[in-house]
Structure 1
Amino acid sequence: MSSETANQDFFKSSVLGHPAGLFVLFFTEMWERFSYYGMRALLVIFLISTFDKGGWGWTTERALGLYGTYTMGVYLTPVIGGLIADKLIGYRWAVIIGAFIMTLGHASMAFETEMFLYIGLGCLIIGNGLFKPNMTSMISNLYKDHPEKKDGAYSIFYMGVNAGAFLGIMLCGYIGEKVSWSWGFGLAGIFMFLGMLQFYFTQNIFGNVGLSAKQTKDLKMEEKVDDTPKKVIFDRMIVVFIFSIFTVFFWAAFEQAGGSMTIFADKYTQRVLEGNAGLTFKFVDAILTIVPLGIITYVLIKLFSKTFKKYSVGNIILSSSFLIIWCIVIWKINKEFSATETEVPATWFGILNSLFIIAFAPLFSKWWESKYNLPGAVKFGLGLVLLGLGFGFLAYGSSSIMPGATDVVRVSMVWLVLAYLFHTLGELCLSPVGLSYVSKLVPAAWIGMMFGVYYLFIAMGNKLAGSMGGMIEKITNEYSLSTFFLIFTIVPIVMGLFISALNPVIKKLMHGVK
């Protein structure tokens, strides 16, 4: 089958306006993100929890130092993973092998010993390096003849990312905090394994795209890269570099979600609800759980209608995964309504980001495909400004918490809800759009490697997030908690305004890429 025929076959079947194959990638990425965010939600809070709560009693600085190193690692290794796929094994085998290594990593962490913790994190870092850049590279190749649809495709794909994050944080976080840390870590591994099997048995839907390094190279040769003057390529690479620099600032602040914001939720947020407030939360939580899961299940059913006959094994594995999820969700809701006291898990707030993504991603996808689409630099700027405003709510909400106070003041959950809302809107403006622009600005022969380089800058942001987040206690004691969050308010807003002002220069350097 020629690559042109494979690409035509890929676009034959449609689900919600996009090829069915995109949703195979959607669900594969969903389970990988389920495992990543499910584990991430537990890591810091597990490490800093006291021994009587089953934790290891680490200091905040040490826990967030490891967190920052780990999250940096998962974005560093894609540089190597992209090269391995490009030169040796192709995108698909990189995804499959990476998923298997990550499964081993999650299984190791379930043992809850320091040696297995480091082994597990190492496996997750290596596996992610093979998995992450090559999923996005597959979309780039599959949509190579439809560049006008890329922004929308990446936004839909990003909804899959956050659907997995939503389910992972909700279920792994809940089970880890309420039942057992080991069960929480182990659950992440189970769905990583099921996601790998679903991808393996449904991969023929992609034709020969990403099947081997040779076919990957053949696809890239079809792009008329040689017709592009070197000067134009150089200018476009400058734009990728500029976007990458501002990406560092975004993720250094955004990734406080897994660190300082989780600590804020745990120590400084009023999470014990009584009477009507508790009952109301139980109903809201049940609705927030069932409705998004119902929407994702609807997408699954639509995919079944197009692919079940040809890819029955992969679809059966996928449906079995969802059956397990529904059983866990029903058990969780029943357990909560049976409880006399309502205590919101500290990890629960992490689902808000994913929930808002699921709600707003389709709207942003339509926005980017409409005549009101914004220039790339302005999208980045808007994303940074919205992120800063989100931290502004936390700075204001924590203003009543005085430094050095012996009695811990707990503030309303509203401030975290508003922060996650604005962070999500900022993320939708920047993160999927950044991936799309890398795919459009970079020559096809470099696409796998350059996605890895782009993730390298995200790695820098993640390490900074851990290092800066680890200073929360020091800054709070010397100044105030409000001051800590004010830093993350001012810096992103200033950087957002700065890159927006650079739009005329960036537009010129892009040479017609929109």
Structure 2
Amino acid sequence: MNQDTQDNFFKSTVLGHPAGLFVLFFTEMWERFSYYGMRALLVLFLTTSLTKGGWAWNVEDAMALYGTYTMVVYFTPIVGGYLADRFLGYRWAVVIGAFIMTLGHVSMAVETPTFLYIGIVCLMIGNGLFKPNMTSIISNAYEKHPEKKDGAYSLFYMGVNAGAFLGIMLCGYIGEKVSWSLGFGLAGIFMFFGMLQFYFTQNIFGNIGLPPTEETKKASKEKEAQENIAPNIIRDRIIAVVIFSVFSVFFWAAFEQAGGSMTIFAEKFTQRELFGNAAWIFKITDALLTLIPLVVITYVLLKLFSKTVKDYALGNSILSLSFIIIWGIVIWKIKRDFSTTETEVPASWFGILNSLFIICFAPFFSKWWESKYNISGPMKFGLGLALLGLGFGFLAYGSMGITADSVIRVSMVWLVAAYLFHTLGELCISPVSLSYISKLVPASWIGIMFGVYYLFLGMGNKLAGSMGGLIETISNQYSLSTFFLIFTIIPIALGVIMLLLSPLMKKIMHGVS
């Protein structure tokens, strides 16, 4: 990528960052809408009784499928990163991956075992092409502005969680209260919108992300030679990436309980039936929680629209249409909720808290990482793990005395507190990990190393499914509190270890901060 391309990319800005970052913001938002919308429904759909439209699977089998799916969607990016680096280019990989994922969501909406598995396979393949290459585009775009990468990835991560928020809220609501098929299908519709918006606006990236040519490959090799990075420094930085990745396995093994054991805790052991004034308070709160973030995201959309509508009218029109549909669904949902006097909070509703908190706190963390009070990568990792453990501490305390067959239902406050601390921990680890990988590895390795990082995340997700599937066994033998206590102690202990390793990590990172 030449300097002129990058200068042009930074010429038109939105909220202090290039307009192109927000094209990626909205593309990733719709992809995460589809991913988290489907994820919110999968375990609930599989374990719900036949009389309520589910398939009545036992928890262990449902969690095994969930764990395998979430593992493989993080394994396939290493192949997708390689194909993009060597043949497709990042942009075509994103488009093809988004289209395959659209087919996957449509297949799952059919609600037969055959189409369920076809859909899951399509999602695995499509995600492998999409996931690492979105982040690779950012890495290349900010190559000459490394000081802004942490902030850029944090803002990008806000888009990720805006999509997750809307996907869990709307797909979960429609799936649980109207139709499982419509819930799964809605995820596919907005994945398709995301693909079209990206495709018709991709020229905003200039030469960034185009398929590699012999000329660009030669230029990349010459650039690496000019950088004159000693092999042992490269080796040390790769070791640092691997250490971060290993710790990430344990972070995600605990964090991804949100789609499994925490959803089961919400469904079986949390008081979700509200009446009278409590029901009205929840309806008003839920409406505000839906509308305020949507207003904020719409504001970002309008800012992008003002900068890019003249040059990319079709892409902006598609993006605008998708938001008109979202606003229509949200208004319908609020009107439907206020037409009833009783309220049962959907079990999937609690999943929106993570995304909501990220939308609220991501800008503050972005400013923190760009300020003089910024802390090192290892310290961010240690803090994130400790905060994650504290979140599970609330669940461990709130579930004291509950066993697998218990009829006790506890206050929603424990789940709210857990999601808050999990979110704060995630902001210290997930977007920062992407930034540090892009800064630590040579430019020609970016796609592959993002794929390797996602490989470790896949291990964490599979471990999450395996551990989550033991919730009934551990609860019967000991208590539900014991189950959550495991996820309290291990992350805090690992956080302390990472803090102790901080001096060594700084040394092998060779000046990357």
TM superposition shift of 1:37: 0.2
Q: 1:326 maps to what in 2?
A: 327
- Cα deviation digits, residues 441-481 of structure 1 (max 9, x gap): 01111111000000000000000000000000000001000
Q: 2:245 maps to what in 1?
A: 244
Letter in 1 for 2:311: K
Question: Which shows bigger deviation, 174-183 or 395-404?
Answer: 395-404
Q: 2:17 maps to what in 1?
A: 18
Letter in 2 for 1:180: S
- Cα deviation digits, residues 327-354 of structure 1 (max 9, x gap): 0000000000001211100000000000
Letter in 2 for 1:244: S
Aligned-partner Cα distance in 2 for 1:306–1:219: 32
Q: 2:37 maps to what in 1?
A: 38
Q: 2:476 maps to what in 1?
A: 477
Letter in 1 for 2:137: M
Question: Which shows bigger deviation, 222-231 or 458-467?
Answer: 222-231
Tell me if structure 1 keeps the 8 A contact 2:404–2:472: no
Q: 1:463 maps to what in 2?
A: 462
SS in 2 for 1:228: coil
TM superposition shift of 1:402: 4.2
> Cα distance 1:446–1:51, how it changes in 2: closer, same or farther (>3 A)?
same
Q: 1:366 maps to what in 2?
A: 367
Question: Which shows bigger deviation, 225-234 or 324-333?
Answer: 225-234
Indicate whether 1:195 and 2:197 are aligned: no
Aligned-partner Cα distance in 1 for 2:132–2:47: 32
Task: Give % identity.
Answer: 73
Tell me if structure 1 keeps the 8 A contact 2:392–2:484: yes
Q: 1:501 maps to what in 2?
A: 500
Aligned-partner Cα distance in 2 for 1:402–1:108: 37
TM superposition shift of 1:16: 0.4
> Cα distance 1:130–1:31, how it changes in 2: closer, same or farther (>3 A)?
same
Tell me if structure 1 keeps the 8 A contact 2:395–2:414: yes
Aligned-partner Cα distance in 1 for 2:273–2:163: 27
Q: 2:160 maps to what in 1?
A: 161
Aligned-partner Cα distance in 2 for 1:204–1:221: 25
Aligned-partner Cα distance in 1 for 2:510–2:207: 31
Indicate whether 1:281 and 2:282 are aligned: yes
Q: 1:298 maps to what in 2?
A: 299
Aligned-partner Cα distance in 2 for 1:397–1:412: 8
TM superposition shift of 1:4: 1.8
TM superposition shift of 1:223: 3.9
Q: 1:104 maps to what in 2?
A: 103
- Cα deviation digits, residues 385-418 of structure 1 (max 9, x gap): 000000000000000324654xx10000000000
Aligned-partner Cα distance in 2 for 1:425–1:218: 43
Q: 2:348 maps to what in 1?
A: 347
Tell me if structure 1 keeps the 8 A contact 2:41–2:172: yes
Letter in 2 for 1:437: Y
Letter in 1 for 2:374: N
Tell me if structure 1 keeps the 8 A contact 2:402–2:475: no
Tell me if structure 2 keeps the 8 A contact 1:403–1:478: no
Letter in 2 for 1:417: V
Q: 2:309 maps to what in 1?
A: 308
Aligned-partner Cα distance in 2 for 1:61–1:171: 26
Q: 1:69 maps to what in 2?
A: 68
SS in 2 for 1:213: coil
Q: 1:125 maps to what in 2?
A: 124
Q: 1:50 maps to what in 2?
A: 49
Tell me if structure 2 keeps the 8 A contact 1:28–1:195: yes
**TM-score (norm. length: structure 2):** 0.98
Q: 1:382 maps to what in 2?
A: 383
SS in 1 for 2:89: helix
Q: 1:492 maps to what in 2?
A: 491
Tell me if structure 2 keeps the 8 A contact 1:223–1:444: no
Q: 2:5 maps to what in 1?
A: 6
Q: 1:429 maps to what in 2?
A: 428
**TM-score (norm. length: structure 1):** 0.98
- Cα deviation digits, residues 92-133 of structure 1 (max 9, x gap): 000000000000000000000000000000000000000000
The two structures, once aligned, show a CA RMSD in angstroms of: 1.1
- Cα deviation digits, residues 414-449 of structure 1 (max 9, x gap): 000000000000000000001111000011111110
Aligned-partner Cα distance in 1 for 2:359–2:301: 15
Letter in 2 for 1:348: W
- Cα deviation digits, residues 341-386 of structure 1 (max 9, x gap): 1110000000000000000000000000001101110100000000
Q: Which runs of 5+ in 2 are unaligned?
A: none
Report the number of matched residues.
Answer: 511
Aligned-partner Cα distance in 2 for 1:5–1:89: 23
TM superposition shift of 1:221: 4.1
Tell me if structure 1 keeps the 8 A contact 2:224–2:442: no
Tell me if structure 2 keeps the 8 A contact 1:103–1:193: yes
TM superposition shift of 1:6: 1.4
Q: Which runs of 5+ in 1 are unaligned?
A: none
SS in 2 for 1:270: coil
